[in-house]
A and B are shown apart, each in its own frame.
Chain A
Amino acid sequence: MERYPATKGGGRGATATAPGRARPAPQEAESAADLPPLLLLHRPRALRRARSMALPRLLRAAAPRLYSTVPAPAPAPAPAGNRPRADDDKLLTEPLSHPDFFSVKELFTLKDLFDARVHLGHKKGCRHRFMEPYIFGCRLDQDIIDLDQTMQHLQLALNFTAHVAYRGGIILFVSRRRQFCHLVESTARACGEYAHTRYWQGGLLTNAHIQFGPGVRLPDLLIFLNTLNNVFEPHVAIRDAAKMNIPTVGVVDTNCNPCLITYPIPGNDDSPAAVELYCKLFRMTIIRAKDKRRQSEAVEELQRKAQGK
Chain B
Amino acid sequence: ASEKPLSSCPTYSYHTLLWTTVRLICTTTAVQKRNVGASGPEKYTEAFIKKQIEEFNLGKRHLANMMGEDPETFTQEDIDRAIAYLFPSGLFDKRARPLMKHPTEVFPEQRKIQWGEDGRPFHFLFYTGKQSYYSLMHVSMLFVINNVSSQSSNICDILNRNLAGSRWLTKIELEEMLLEKVSDNDYSRFIQLLQKLATLPCADIEEKYIQKFSKEVPAQLQKVVIEPLQHDERGVAFSTGEGKRKTARATAVVYDNGTGRITVNGIDILHYFPVLQDREQLLFPFQFLGRIGKHDMVCTVSGGGRSAQAGAIRLASAKALRSFVTEKEVEFMRQAGLLTVDPRVKERKKPGQEGPRRKFTWKKR
Contact = CB atoms under 8 A, between A and B. Distances in A.
Nearest to A199: B128
A185 B38 contact: no
A185 B113 CA distance: 23
Interface of B: 34, 38-40, 43, 113-115, 117-121, 124-130, 134, 138, 141-142, 145
Nearest to B117: A78
A194 B113 contact: no
Contacts of B121: 170, 194, 217
B125 A185 contact: yes
A73 B39 contact: no
Main secondary structure of the interface of A (DSSP, over half): loop
A148 B141 CA distance: 37
A210 B124 contact: no
Given A69-B34, A217-B119, A195 B39 contact: no
B125 A194 contact: yes
Interface string A153-185: 000000000000000101010000000011001
The listed residue with most A CB atoms (<10 A of its CB), out of B40, B118, B126, B145, is B118
Contacts, number: 65
Contacts of A73: 119
B124 A213 contact: no
B126 A210 contact: no
A25 to B, nearest CB: 36
B127 A194 contact: yes
Contacts of A214: 39, 43
A198 B134 contact: yes
Contact of B118 (A168, A181, A182, A210): A168
A29 interface: no
B311 to A, nearest CB: 60
Given A181-B141, A185-B124, 15 more contacts: A78-B117, A78-B118, A182-B138, A185-B138, A195-B124, A198-B134, A204-B129, A210-B40, A212-B114, A213-B39, A213-B43, A213-B113, A214-B43, A217-B115, A217-B120
A172 B145 contact: no
Contacts of B125: 185, 194-196
A214 B36 CA distance: 11
Contacts of B38: 210
B40 A219 contact: no
A209 B39 contact: yes
A213 B128 contact: no
B129 A201 contact: yes
A65 to B, nearest CB: 14
